[in-house]
Amino acid sequence: MKRVLILYSTVDGQTRHIAERLQARLEAQEHQVTVADLARGGALLAEADAVIIGASIRYGKFRPALFDFIRRHQGHLERLPSAFFSVNLVARKANKNTPDTNPYMTKFAKLSPWQPNLLGVFAGKLDYPAYGFWDKQVIRFIMWITKGPTAPDAVVEYTDWGQVELFADRCADL
């Protein structure tokens, strides 16, 4: 049994949902799992045998708090078996849904001084009714360019939960 810490950086909650699915899968394999917001992560690292961090993308970027956390805790992160996953809508496309083909993972590899043992990419959720006016217009425009849904009331969860569970199993083997 391992003590696994899963930290998430989310705005609308999908990265947290994925973290919770990872938790359920790992707990079913008898691991002891703590899921927390990245902001609370520093205090929890000392109790972990392995760490998984997940972060979503907004307007092409991870939030700065992600890299602040990594820089602050780099030494500790490097001593633990570790995984990182990104959540974004570009990953809904079959040719952009792996760590090698997703542009944000390439970006992560360049920007992060911590290189985790395992990487994952998951498509997120599109939820126009939850967005503010301007965000909604911008995302609809991006979806129009990339041939996605543009109906103002569209809600589409692209996350492949089977892939999430497979990732949990690979994390268990770290």
Ligand X SMILES: Cc1cc2nc3c(=O)[nH]c(=O)nc-3n(C[C@H](O)[C@H](O)[C@H](O)COP(=O)(O)O)c2cc1C
Binding site residues, ligand X, CB under 6 A: 10-15, 56-60, 87-90, 124-126, 131, 135, 139
Q: Minimum distance from CB of 144 to ligand X (Å)? A: 14
Nearer to ligand X, 49 or 135 (CB): 135
Q: Minimum distance from CB of 10 to ligand X (Å)? A: 3
Q: Minimum distance from CB of 163 to ligand X (Å)? A: 14
Nearer to ligand X, 10 or 80 (CB): 10
Going from the C-alpha of 47 to that of each of 27, 52, 64, 126, the distances in angstroms are 17, 13, 25, 35
Residue with tokens 């602050």: 72
87 within 8 A of 122, measured Cβ to Cβ: yes
Nearer to ligand X, 15 or 112 (CB): 15
158 within 8 A of 124, measured Cβ to Cβ: yes
Angle at 55 between CA 51 and CA 57, to 5 degrees: 165
Residue nearest to ligand X (CB): 124
Q: Minimum distance from CB of 89 to ligand X (Å)? A: 4
> What's the distance, CA 172 to chain centroid?
17
Nearer to ligand X, 29 or 150 (CB): 150
